[in-house]
Structures are given as C-alpha cells and as structure tokens.
Structure 1
Amino acid sequence: MKKRISVYGFSLVFLGIFLMLSSKMIAQEKESTEVAKNDTVKVINTKEEKNRNVMLSAESATMPRQLNIGLPFQGDILIMENDLPVVYTFWTQMPTTAWRYDQSIGRIGLMSFQEGALTFGKVGYMVTSWDRQASRKFKGFASVYTSNYGTLRYDVNISGPIGKKGWGYTASIYENYEHGSGTNFKYTNFQERAEFFKVGLNKKYKNGELSVLYKHAEVTPYVMGGYSVLQYDGKGKTSEIEDFKIGKDSYILGSGLFPYFDYNTGEAKMGDLTSDEASQNLTDAFYLNGEHRFKNSMKLKYSAMYMKSKAALTIQYPLSISISEASESDVTEVYTLFGTQSDVNSSTSAYDYPGEQYNGAVQMVSSQYYPQVDINTFTARAELIKKVKNHDLRGGFTYQYYSAPIVFNSGVYYQTVEANPRLLNRTYAMDLSAYGMGTSYYPVTDATNGGIAVAGTYSDNTYSKTALYLSDDFTVGKRFNFGLGARIEHENNEVTRSIYPNEFVQDRLYTEKFKNKFNKVFIGNTVVKLTNNFGLLADATYNSWYNRYWEIDDATGAENIANDKDLIVTNFGGGIYWNHGKLFSLVSKITKIKKENNIAEETITSAAGESERVYPIFYDIETMGWSTDIISEPFKNFNMHLLFTIQDPRYKGYSYSTHFDNGEQSYNYSDNVIPDLSKILAEIDASYFLFKRDVRLWASLRYFGEQQANKINTIYYDGWWENFGGIDYNMSRNVTLKFQVVNFLDQRGVKGALVGGDQITDASSYVGRKLVASGIRPRTFELTATFKF
C-alpha cells in the first residue's frame, strides 16, 4: 500500500494544542447541529423534515440511516454539502468517502421528499449539511470519540477573522481509526482509515457573503459488506452455527487475498483488499458558494463544486444457495486448501491433489472488484428568491457534469464456511471410460489461482445535465396554503462499453451518444386550516427521468441496440395535522408511492446445470401506507417523538421465463412483498433533562416488522428492534460528554435480502441449512467529548 500522508503525528499535536486552549474557553452563543428537534411541526414548510434522527445508523458508525419510503434503496445520493450533492452517483463512489458529520459542519438537516425531487430530481430524503463559516472572533470546536472496540476518532475546527474588512478563515482536520464492531478481520487492523482536511476563506460585505473552500479526503474502507453465515430454522427463525458469531466473526477470506479475472484479457490474477488499488478513495474538492441581496428584496443563492476523485470499491459477495455440506459432496469432488502445496504428484491416484484436503461445508463466493479509477465531477446551482405579496417565488438552475470509467473485474471462488474463511480449490475426477480409456479417473481442477473464470465488464460514462426549476408557495386568505413547483432537465450522455455480455472485453468496445433527453418533475401541496390548530394537508409528486437499456442484436450477438424508458415515481399523500400546544403535535397521512419501468436482469439455472440470462425485465413497485407522527412534551423537561407506519410494498408485473431442453422454467414475483421492507415500522424517541438541563437522558427505538428474505416470498425473518440510548452531560458551557450505547438490548440475528435466494420455491428444503444474510450490529459502547474554545 502507498504510504499515507504523514499527518497522524501532526494531527495529534494539533489536537493537543486546541485541547489546552480549551482551558481558556470563552462564553459564546450556542450553535445547534441537531437533526432531531422537538419544535412544533411546521406543516406548511415542505422543504425540510424535522424530528428524524438520521445520524443514528444501526448499519454504520459513519453513515446516515436510510429512511424507509416504501421503495427499496437503489443507491441514490443521500447527502448534500453546501447545497450540492457530495457525489454524483452512489456507485462506485460512496458518499461517505467524500463527507463526514464532523466539527467542520455548522448546520445539518433533512431535505423533504418533494424538495429533493424539485432541486435535483432525486427520490427519497437527503441529508443536508453546510460547512462552518468564518466567525467574528477566534472560535474552536473539537471532539474525541472512542468505543469499547478501540475505535479512535477525533476532529478539530477553528475559524476567525482576517483583518477588519469582512474576511475570515475556517480550517478543520478529521481522523478516523475505525474498528467497527470489533470483528476479527485477520487481514487488517482497521475496518476503515479516514482523513479529511478542509480550509476555507469567507468574505462578508454589505449585501451578502462569499465563501471558497478546499476539501481533501483519503478514505480506505478495508471492509465492504457485512455478511454472516447462519442456519435457517424455518418460520422466520434463524440461529447461529457452531463457531460463528453473527456480527462478531468475519465471513471474508482471512488472508484478504481474492482471485479475479482481468475484465479485458481474462487473465487470472490475485487481488488484495488492503491495497490502494482495491480500497482507497481520494477526493479533492473545491467549493464556491454565497448569497447576494438585491435592493428590491430579491436574493440570489449560488453554489459550485469541482471534484477530482480516485474511487475504488471491492465486495466479496456470497452466493447463499451454493453452500453445500461435506455430506452432500459427490464422491468425485475434492476440495483442497489453496496454496498449501506447490507440487502435484500425478503418478498416483486421482485424489492426490495439491494442498491439504478439506472435508467441511463449502460456500461459493463472487468477487466484485472495481479497481481505483479517476472521476471528474462539476456541479453548480443558483437560486433566485423573491417575495411578492402573498407569494414566495423561487427560480433555480442546476448543472451537473460527471465523467467516470467503471472497470469491473469478476471471479467466483470456493471458500470454507467458518470465521475468516480459507480459499479452496475444487477438483473433480473425470471418468475416462467414456473415452475408451478403461475405468481410470483423471483429476480436473476447475479453478486458476483458486478462482473460476467469470467475465467482467467496462464502461466509460459522461453525463451532462442542465435543469431549471420554479416554485411558488402562496396563501389564499387565512385558511389556505398552497405550494407548486416544476423542474425540467435536459440530459446528454455518452457511453463507451463492452457489448458482449458474459464475455471478456478483448478490446471490443462500442460508443453510443444519447442527446436531448428530458427529465421532468412536478410537485404540489396544500394545507387547509380548519381551525387555528387543526387542518388538512395533501401533496403530490411526479418525477420521471430517462433510463437507457440495451438489447441483443440477433445477427451479431452484440448487446448494442439502445433503447430507453422513463423511470416514473409518483407519490400522493393526504391527511390531517393537529397541534395542541406542547402536549402534542400530530401529523397523520395516507400515502401511495409507485415506481414504474424498473429494469432487472435475472439468471435462471436448470436442474441440469444450464444457465440462461434474461434481460431486460420490466416491472413496477407500488406501496400504500399510513403514517402517524407525534411530537409531545407532556411535562417539563420531557420530550417524546412517536412515528408509526403501516405499509404494503409489493412488486407489480414482475415475471420472467426461459426455455431449456426439458421445458420452460418461469418465475412470477407479481403482488409479492418486496424483500428488505417491513410492513410495520415504529419509532420511539424519548429524552429527559435533569439538573437544570445539564444532563439529558435519551433513548431511540425503531421497530422493523417481519421482512421477506427473497422476492418469491418463501423465506422471511421475524421482526426486530434497533435501539440506541445514552447520557449527555454538559460539564460547562464549553465541554460536553456523551455516552451512547448502540443496540443496548443486545439484539442478535439477521436481516435483508438473502443473497441468491430469489428462486427458492420450496423453503422447507432449506430448513436446517446454512444461508447467508446481513447481521445486526452488535452492542457497542461509545464515548464522545466535545469542546468549544
């Protein structure tokens, strides 16, 4: 691995200096960075969602939670910084490789579903954040975090004036030595290493302000994906297998070395999860943002970002239905530990193979290796805001440019089923009698470097998107509030790609240009005040965007016939709100959300071992739901937030089939419940202040009801609770200690879609068998100290 920038020692010294300065802390106004506030629900403002503690994630200590909207998460952007997305697309550049919620962030919030659609055409809720601006006098913010698993995270931000003419500066450092949940990954000491540096200049003048900021990030996630092997016991129940603790043990090759095949040449190679090429992400971003107030009360807000990145992503993806016990192995199959013996004794029997023979359970795993590539991103946004009588008018412009290759190397290999698995070679004995050579057997190894050849792919994508959007929030009389908005986006893109599916590229690339495509968004909302505290509300969103797909030319076998369909998301909601002072504020809505023209690819395997790829498959998703959100302060110092949802997320028109020699094989998921989405969701957030509000006790509990584990709905998991709790202690106006416990109920088990389980039509045959799914994050104790100086 390349040597990381040598800032560790410098950063510790830097941190020490600021912690010493903290002994001379000065009183200052409180700067709030909380997402979840217990303010009265402001139903008229549809641009921001409150009362959602999005930074409490049961999946990751550094990633915001994913908010359930009745649609499966498909990798859309989650995070905004300075009014712009931190990355253009989730794949292959993960948002948290370019962003962290640290002391450099001055404000954080949550953009509403409608606002995300209107401003950037996205589906779902997005975390919004803004970097700290220069202060009028020197200020500092610092925090130190640790956990019972040894994670160390610290960061510092300082800001202050430069002269007396409105100039100022801000600078910050963030370091993370992440051990996650203490899982014993033999190939690495850290689950992640991350460094962020920011430095910026601000200029305030009579009618506005201007800021420039430079951000550098080095993030190396040595572990991607949290799969666990388990036993399926039937009827929603699972259990741990012997010598493997879910959430504690690693199910990634203990050596960190994995076989793959070059996407272009098909050459067998060995990758290293700890290498920069496989895991390191580098980001250099430049921001320009500000606002200007005109004499006619019109305001202009603007932001621009150029980012140059190197992004890498590597996942080892278990194929759960391929786990086989030793008792199921054919007598002609032999598995040997890879690399334990260098010579083959070919003069003896068929079972004299390289390496030590292995007689336990075996798992087939896929390498998904996206080596480090260069990415260029430019994003800009400008917005004019003007109030005219009872109208709040807004006109916006966005431009997005994105250019990135995607190199995908793949391979399949066998591994042992245990903690820190070992790589295996599979050898089978070929019966030579069929060739008139008697009854002797000949050993055949179907792997190279431990891997079985699977073709990768390549594409080089350039996108250019220009959009205009308009909105008007207005009132009619004292009882009616309305909001209307529209967005039109012009898109050009060019793609150079491999056109022969399931084949190595061999330099056979095809370029296609797509011009003058249009994406559209329309939103509307209303609030009718029946009384001063009670009323009706409704909203509607239409969001469509261009989505291309390819079909095979029967004459050439090349997948080079370009087609497109609009992906369409519609969201309709209606309900009531009721504000009763501090006692409660309630919003209760019925919503219907639908996503049309999803495109899928499936592979069908026959009983004889034949495989057939089916593409494209078009289908819809539809969810009807009812949510009730309540905020309450029933007595002094006590706050409560309740959220309860009943929903029914289902596939529509999802079926596919193919023909084999022994007949047609088909699958139909229509009207089935979507995996990884619960029908019942509940959230309880409570807090209580003690000792003149210097101590805050709090807890957050989220219930996820029964989840289907596969699309065909033959396997499911029982519901579970995600839970957090803690104590915040304000030692002084400038020093706060926070003790938090993640999963204090010590929930154990699995969740999420079963890998490779979508064609399991008979779940009874899998009772008592080993499968693979995602594990629940184990109980973790965390301590954070924050300082202001």
Structure 2
Amino acid sequence: MRKSTLKLSALGLILSFTTAFGQEKTDTVAVKKALNVAKTEEGVKTVTTSSKEDNNRNVMLNAANNTSPRDVNIGLPSTVGGITILENDLPAVYFFWPELPNKTWRQSVGLEKTGLLKMDQLANTMGDLGFAVNSYSQIGTKDLKVKGKFTTSTFGWLQGDANVSGPISKNGWTYTVGAFANFDPSTYKLGFARNADETKIFRAGLTKYFNDDKGKISVLYKYADSYSLTNYAVFEYGPEGKVTELDNFKIGRDSYVVREGNMKFKDVLSGQTYFANLAGNDNRSSSHNIDVVGNYLLNNGWNFKFSTRAHFSKVKMANSIPLSIFNATPGAGYTLASNGQAYSGPVGTQLAMYTPETPITSVAGRFSLNKQVGNHNLTVGVLEQYYHIDKFTSNRSFFYQTVGAQPQRLIGPNTDVDGFYNYNAGAEYHSGTENKLSVYGTDEWKVSDNFNLSYGLHLRNHIIDGEYSLTPRTVGFVFTDPSQFNQINQSFYQIGGSLNATYNISKNFGVIANALYTEENRRLESYSQAFEPNTNKIKSPLGAIGVFWNTDWIQLISQATYLKKNNNLNRYNLVNPANSSQAQVATVYYDIQTLGWTTDFVLKPFKGFNLHYLVTFQNPVYKKFNFDAFGTSYNYSDNNVLGVAKTLMEIDPSYTIDKWRFWASFRYFSKQYANLTNALYFAPRWETFGGVSYTVNKNINLGATVINFLNQRGASGTINGAELITDASPYYGKLLTGTYIMPLTGQFSVSFNF
C-alpha cells in the first residue's frame, strides 16, 4: 500500500472518554485511573498531565521501530500518516506527506511534558478524528536544570539527548538549550550505510516570566535534520497464517533493501534521469521551526494562552517498496547488474519512489481563553493553519532484485541497461496552499455531585488553492506543456465536536455515554494523481455507552462503541494475480464501520504492585468498497478491515520496591487479514516488552528494556502485492514480503536530572 500505514482499532476508544466524575472520591479515583503513570522509554518516568490527557497507554513503546510513537487503535481501517503528533498545541507538521512527523519530532528530554490527547479533545480543538501525542517544549526555568539521557542497544543504537535551562537575570529572563542525536542501525545490516535512521535536533529558546506570576512568554527555535528508511521481510507463507523463515533470510535481522541503495528515476518535470540513494543527502529532510508560546492571566480571571509557529522545511524522500516475487527460469534473460552474471531463481519486483527537494512552509497559531465560572470550566479559542508546498513530485520507477539478505539489483528482459523500467507510471504532482481557520469552544460542566457533562464544538473553514494535472501518467511520462496543469479552488465548511455524560448511580458505580462527530474534505495531496478527487464530505460519527466502577484497589470501565467513516480514499499498488509482473495503481473510495466492546481496569491489590489490563472485541468491516483493475471488477464490501485484529489485549504489570521498578507489557493481536480479499492473514501474535530500572539517587537513573522478549519472529501488517489474491492455498510455500515486529532487542539507558 502507498505510504506508511497506521493500524487502527477500537482498543483506544474507552480511554478517549473515561474520566468518570461525581462524588469527590469517585472523581479522584477516576482521574488517577485515566492518568495512571505511563512507562516511558526508560521505564520509570512519571508524567503529570491534565484530565484532558490519558497516560495509562504507553504510546512511546513501538514494536516496529525506535523512531515513532506506537499506533493507537480506534477501530478504523488501515490509513496513512500514523498517530497525530502535537507540539505546543500545534501539529509538529501540517501534513505528514512528504514530511513525516518523525523527521522533525522525537521523544526527548527537550520536551517538558508528553501525554496522549483524548479523542474528544482532538475533535474539539483540532477538528480531527483519532488520538494525538501531545507534547510541550522545555522552556526556560528560573532555576538551573540539567537533564539528559544516553541510550544504546544490543544492535549498536546510539542516542544522546541533553537539555540545559536556567536564569539569565533577576528580572524574569531565562534560557533553554538542548541537543538530540540519534544514530540507529535498527536490527538489520544495510549494504550501503550503517544506520537506518540518523536524526539530529537542536533547540534553543528564551523565556520571560511576567511579574506577580501573571504568566510567561517564550521564543523557541528548533532545527532538525533527518533521514530514515523502512525494511521489509521475506518469508514463506503457510496454512493458518503462519510464516516460516528462509534459510537465507532472517526476519528482522536481514535487510531486503537493495544492496547498494541506489535507484534510478526520470524527473517528471524536466525529463532528466538520475540516481538517488536511500541514505544520506538524497533522502534527507531539514527544517527550521520558530515558536512563540506562553500565557497571561488577565485581570478578569481569564487565562489567555497562545502558541504560534513558523515552520520552514526542505524535504527529500526516497522509498523502495516490494510488490511481488516470481521465479525466473534459466535463460529467462535476468543478469546481475553488478557483473552481468546470468541469474535464475526468485526475483523480487520493487516500486521505487523519489521526491526531489521540495520546499514546504507552514504558519500556525492557536489563541484561547480559559476560566472556571461557577460549575463550568470554559475554553474558547481560534486556530489558524497555513500551508504551502512548492511543486511536489513523486517520480517512480520499477526494478528487479534478488531475493535474500542485501539483495542485488537485476537487469531483466524489459528493463533498461541499469535494470529499471516503467518510469513515472503513476507519478504524482501537486502544488499550492491550504488554509484552515477554526473557532472552537469547550465546557466541562459539573451539573451536580453525581452528574457531569463535557462538550465542545469546532467550526472550520478549509480552503485549497493550487494546481494539479489530469494528464495520464503513462510509462515515460514528463510534463512538457503548461496547459497540462489545472487550477484548484476549493472551500469547505466543516464541523466537529463531542458530548460526554457521566452519572454516578452510587458512590463507586456509574454510567457513561459519549458521542463524537468530525468532518473533513479532501486535501491538496488528494489531487496528486491524474483524476478529479471526490470532494464530498467525510463524516465520522462515533457513539459509546458503558459503566465504571472505582474503589481504592480497582478502577474499571466497560464500554460498547460504534464508529463509522465514509468516503475514505486509498491508493493501492496492485499486482495482477494472473501475471505478477504487471502492476497498476488503483484509487478506491469506500466506507467503514466498526462495533466494539472494551473493558479496561487498573488493579492495585497490594503496595508496590500495579496491573493494567485491557481487552477489546470488535468487528471492523468495509462498506461500498469496489473498483476495477486489470479489466476485472472487484467488490470487497463487508470484508474484514485489512491489518486490524478483532481481539486485542494489553496486560501491563509493574512492581516497585525500594529503588527498583520491574515492569512488563504484553500486547495480544488476534489474526489480522493481510490482503483485501481476506484470503491471506497472519496468525495471532504477541508483542512483548519488559524492563527494570534502578534509581541510583534523586538525580541518576539506570534502565534496561527488552523488546520482544518472547522472540516472536512472525510477520505483521500487510502482504505487499497480494491485494487481489482470492485463494490462499496456491500461496502456501510461496515467498511473500511484508512488515514485521522487531526481533529480540535489549536497550540500556542512563538518565540524569539535576
């Protein structure tokens, strides 16, 4: 599938609405439950947040890589972009493609606070559906503070992270400065570079504290420079969704990225051919970020909070995505590109994509007023977001490679002398601006001792102004005529909001009911291909009802949910099931719906021990899912959603004694369908984490984490190039490719805070 995928399920729905208010004891226990201490990467850090954030889910422990937060599941089908990341109440990047959020944002000591923003708060304040990592930059401090962390792993991961803040003068001026450097080889060896991820982030800022504790204002600067790439696994697919490792390829330990990392393209604007490398400058993004943030307490008691950002980036991005594997017989005409030696055996078909340096500018600002007025906690705000991207292109080509660790590029009978073919088939182009202007308001209303209402409304005007082209992107395509470009002038009005009600039937027991609704329309990116996108409203209604029970030793919530989303858009890189050498891009619009039931509790039976348990049963399915490809009509309505498990569990025990803390995290996923027809699926799997931390003293902490300590070696996600397969049996014993969880990995850290 095109672009990085986000696997969503109803797992997180319960936590988006679960602050159960009422009598004082019940309110306190419920808030403590919702804000249960999260295990951070070092396994010990406590995060304090408002009741608008959830911290009993560790979004920072990602089973797939070290670079991004884990996906939080809400029952939707696989989509793109990953979890929303906010910094200082504004998106880290306006839109994830082509500037992925992890190119400019990482979990760091340069952040003062990190939490998980609940779904209703994201709907109310951003008008968007889902969860968000909500983070705040470290600002200047009145006292000298030095904090840092060094992390390494059994695979040679090196990460250094430090921040210093303190006073400049006695009249309220302070400073902050920090640096983050990540050199991560991941768990596999590339043939052309040491690291699969290299990221450097530098921060500096000034803060002025106003007299009489009226507030503060900070000017913050951030520079980021990053490249990262994605690996895939080759495996033998078998009955019951089980996969078997190959003798010449270990899942998670070997690289399926072409050995020299070079790919050849034809520029869709100039027609020039060139090579680009998956590492280094050809795949590197850089950005400059200037924030002005702060708050001021007005004389009438209203707290004025503001956050503004100017973001300037230059993005280059290279990707290689496996599509299929077929067998080449002797004499079929395949040779190794490195030495011309004849080759026979399994051949991997690869899609290569490259975005040349693309300037991106975004300017955003959020301004809000908040005050406690009687039994109402009121907030009103304005959000402005401006975005400009200059001539985005995605140049494309295809090539063949051997199947094994660090595969070699092949020259085939239908390729050029360098082994590439089908230049710019499905190439992309768009250019222009987006502007979103929103007003919103929220109210947390304590109606009585037993009854609470929380509600919000978000109104947004979304304008798109740019250019695109309807010219088909056939093989060898290049834009040669200015008349090939069409103008985009669209304006959309969108509404979002939520309503949450909590009622205490008794001191410790009560019921909850929640409703959430968001709207959106197409983005500028939707015009990348040679067609006029469907700009009808995308509506996402959500409803839930449940019960809660809170005592001193258990806090429990059980809730049923319903969610629907219409007019989804996805682009699939399809492979012809009758001829695996044929591929085409298909654009599909579809609806989805899911029913779910989630039970979540935190158990504290004795001092020092804490057990968090969550189980979700759900049934997400596609609706109105039909398209044409290779001369055939396909209809996948009522099929199960790709890559989403129907049963999920999380089991998170921890025990603290003296200076030691021991913890573990188990995540269970039932079988996940790996292609659109539901013929292929992956067997159930566990993702496991464990760790121990030792507090040397109040300033120094040591931590050790083990990822995948059960050493699960299976694949996960989707199977590339298998979207149209209808009968699994011919694929038993066949070589396929897909994503996977990290192999057994040990990580070690030293943290200090003075």
One-letter amino acid of the structure 1 residue matched with residue 722 of structure 2: G
Asked if the contact 2:215/2:296 (under 8 Å) is kept, the reply is yes
Asked if the contact 1:46/1:112 (under 8 Å) is kept, the reply is no
1:507 to 459, 477, 480: 480
Alignment of 1:624 onto 2:595: yes
Q: Secondary structure at the match of 1:564?
A: coil
Q: 1:294 and 1:656, CA in 2 relative to 1: closer, same or farther beyond 3 A? A: same
What are the Cα deviations for residues 629-666 of structure 1, in whole angstroms up to 9, with x where unaligned? 11111100111111111111110111223684xxxx22
Unmatched runs of 5 consecutive residues or more in structure 1: 1-31, 39-43, 341-354, 428-444, 553-557
Q: Secondary structure at the match of 2:446?
A: strand
| Distance in structure 2 (CA, Å) of the matches to 1:240 and 1:610 | 24
Alignment of 1:538 onto 2:505: no
Q: Secondary structure at the match of 2:238?
A: strand
Asked if the contact 2:509/2:547 (under 8 Å) is kept, the reply is yes
Asked if the contact 1:216/1:285 (under 8 Å) is kept, the reply is yes
| Distance in structure 2 (CA, Å) of the matches to 1:161 and 1:193 | 32
Match of 2:222 in 1: 215
Q: Secondary structure at the match of 2:522?
A: strand
Alignment of 1:528 onto 2:503: yes
Measured after TM superposition, the shift of residue 74 of structure 1 is 2.1
Alignment of 1:238 onto 2:238: no
Measured after TM superposition, the shift of residue 477 of structure 1 is 2.1
One-letter amino acid of the structure 2 residue matched with residue 708 of structure 1: Y
Measured after TM superposition, the shift of residue 267 of structure 1 is 4.6
Match of 1:25 in 2: none
| Distance in structure 1 (CA, Å) of the matches to 2:608 and 2:53 | 25
Measured after TM superposition, the shift of residue 783 of structure 1 is 0.8
**What pairs up with 1:242-321 in 2 under 5 angstroms?**
242-276=247-281, 278-320=282-324
Asked if the contact 1:77/1:88 (under 8 Å) is kept, the reply is no
| Distance in structure 2 (CA, Å) of the matches to 1:548 and 1:174 | 32
Alignment of 1:374 onto 2:380: no
| Distance in structure 1 (CA, Å) of the matches to 2:693 and 2:705 | 8
Q: 1:618 and 1:167, CA in 2 relative to 1: closer, same or farther beyond 3 A? A: same
Match of 2:652 in 1: 685
Measured after TM superposition, the shift of residue 123 of structure 1 is 1.8
What are the Cα deviations for residues 528-586 of structure 1, in whole angstroms up to 9, with x where unaligned? 1111211111111110112269999xxxxx956565111111111110111011x1101
One-letter amino acid of the structure 1 residue matched with residue 461 of structure 2: H
What are the Cα deviations for residues 13-69 of structure 1, in whole angstroms up to 9, with x where unaligned? xxxxxxxxxxxxxxxxxxx9964599xxxxx98732230111111111121100111
Asked if the contact 2:37/2:56 (under 8 Å) is kept, the reply is no
Unmatched runs of 5 consecutive residues or more in structure 2: 1-34, 44-48
Match of 2:209 in 1: 204
Asked if the contact 1:311/1:374 (under 8 Å) is kept, the reply is yes
Measured after TM superposition, the shift of residue 156 of structure 1 is 1.3
One-letter amino acid of the structure 1 residue matched with residue 307 of structure 2: S
| Distance in structure 2 (CA, Å) of the matches to 1:466 and 1:240 | 51
Measured after TM superposition, the shift of residue 131 of structure 1 is 1.5
1:642 to 582, 606, 613: 613
What are the Cα deviations for residues 267-297 of structure 1, in whole angstroms up to 9, with x where unaligned? 5432222241x21111110010111111221
Match of 2:92 in 1: 86
What are the Cα deviations for residues 284-341 of structure 1, in whole angstroms up to 9, with x where unaligned? 1001011111122111111001011111221111112xx1124xx4x7621011142x
Asked if the contact 1:229/1:771 (under 8 Å) is kept, the reply is yes
Asked if the contact 2:191/2:406 (under 8 Å) is kept, the reply is yes
| Distance in structure 2 (CA, Å) of the matches to 1:760 and 1:616 | 18
Match of 1:756 in 2: 721
Alignment of 1:364 onto 2:349: yes
**What pairs up with 1:7-46 in 2 under 5 angstroms?**
35=38
| Distance in structure 1 (CA, Å) of the matches to 2:149 and 2:580 | 57
| Distance in structure 1 (CA, Å) of the matches to 2:666 and 2:381 | 39
Measured after TM superposition, the shift of residue 134 of structure 1 is 2.1
| Distance in structure 2 (CA, Å) of the matches to 1:286 and 1:671 | 47
Q: 1:165 and 1:659, CA in 2 relative to 1: closer, same or farther beyond 3 A? A: closer
What are the Cα deviations for residues 657-715 of structure 1, in whole angstroms up to 9, with x where unaligned? 3684xxxx22221111111100010001111112x2x1001111111111111010001
One-letter amino acid of the structure 2 residue matched with residue 336 of structure 1: T
| Distance in structure 2 (CA, Å) of the matches to 1:589 and 1:672 | 25
Measured after TM superposition, the shift of residue 600 of structure 1 is 3.8
Asked if the contact 1:550/1:562 (under 8 Å) is kept, the reply is no
One-letter amino acid of the structure 2 residue matched with residue 590 of structure 1: A
Match of 2:399 in 1: 413
Alignment of 1:468 onto 2:439: yes
Q: 1:658 and 1:786, CA in 2 relative to 1: closer, same or farther beyond 3 A? A: closer
Match of 1:389 in 2: 374
Asked if the contact 1:270/1:449 (under 8 Å) is kept, the reply is no
| Distance in structure 2 (CA, Å) of the matches to 1:246 and 1:128 | 33
Match of 2:410 in 1: 424
**What pairs up with 1:313-712 in 2 under 5 angstroms?**
313-320=317-324, 323-326=325-328, 329=329, 333-340=332-339, 355-404=340-389, 405-427=391-413, 445-455=414-424, 456-503=427-474, 504-508=477-481, 509-547=484-522, 559=530, 561=532, 563-581=534-552, 583-601=553-571, 605=576, 607=578, 617-657=588-628, 660=631, 665-690=632-657, 692=658, 694-712=659-677
One-letter amino acid of the structure 2 residue matched with residue 58 of structure 1: A
Identity of aligned residues (%): 34
What are the Cα deviations for residues 149-193 of structure 1, in whole angstroms up to 9, with x where unaligned? 111111111111111111111111111111211x11010011122
Asked if the contact 1:548/1:562 (under 8 Å) is kept, the reply is no
Q: Secondary structure at the match of 2:53?
A: coil
1:98 to 77, 93, 104: 104
Q: Secondary structure at the match of 1:117?
A: helix
| Distance in structure 2 (CA, Å) of the matches to 1:776 and 1:561 | 37
Matched residue count: 701
| Distance in structure 1 (CA, Å) of the matches to 2:521 and 2:558 | 33
Measured after TM superposition, the shift of residue 110 of structure 1 is 0.6
One-letter amino acid of the structure 2 residue matched with residue 177 of structure 1: F
**What pairs up with 1:709-788 in 2 under 5 angstroms?**
709-788=674-753
Q: 1:426 and 1:611, CA in 2 relative to 1: closer, same or farther beyond 3 A? A: closer
Asked if the contact 1:747/1:778 (under 8 Å) is kept, the reply is yes
| Distance in structure 2 (CA, Å) of the matches to 1:761 and 1:559 | 29
Asked if the contact 1:316/1:366 (under 8 Å) is kept, the reply is yes
**What pairs up with 1:109-124 in 2 under 5 angstroms?**
109-124=115-130
One-letter amino acid of the structure 1 residue matched with residue 667 of structure 2: R
| Distance in structure 2 (CA, Å) of the matches to 1:274 and 1:47 | 40
| Distance in structure 1 (CA, Å) of the matches to 2:445 and 2:491 | 33
Q: Secondary structure at the match of 2:619?
A: strand
Asked if the contact 2:576/2:630 (under 8 Å) is kept, the reply is no
Q: Secondary structure at the match of 2:102?
A: helix
Measured after TM superposition, the shift of residue 407 of structure 1 is 1.5
| Distance in structure 1 (CA, Å) of the matches to 2:366 and 2:580 | 53
| Distance in structure 1 (CA, Å) of the matches to 2:192 and 2:580 | 35
Q: Secondary structure at the match of 1:286?
A: strand
Q: 1:612 and 1:363, CA in 2 relative to 1: closer, same or farther beyond 3 A? A: closer
Measured after TM superposition, the shift of residue 91 of structure 1 is 1.0
Q: Secondary structure at the match of 2:124?
A: helix
Q: Looking at CA atoms only, which structure, 1 or 2, has the larger radius of gyration? A: 1
Asked if the contact 2:267/2:478 (under 8 Å) is kept, the reply is no
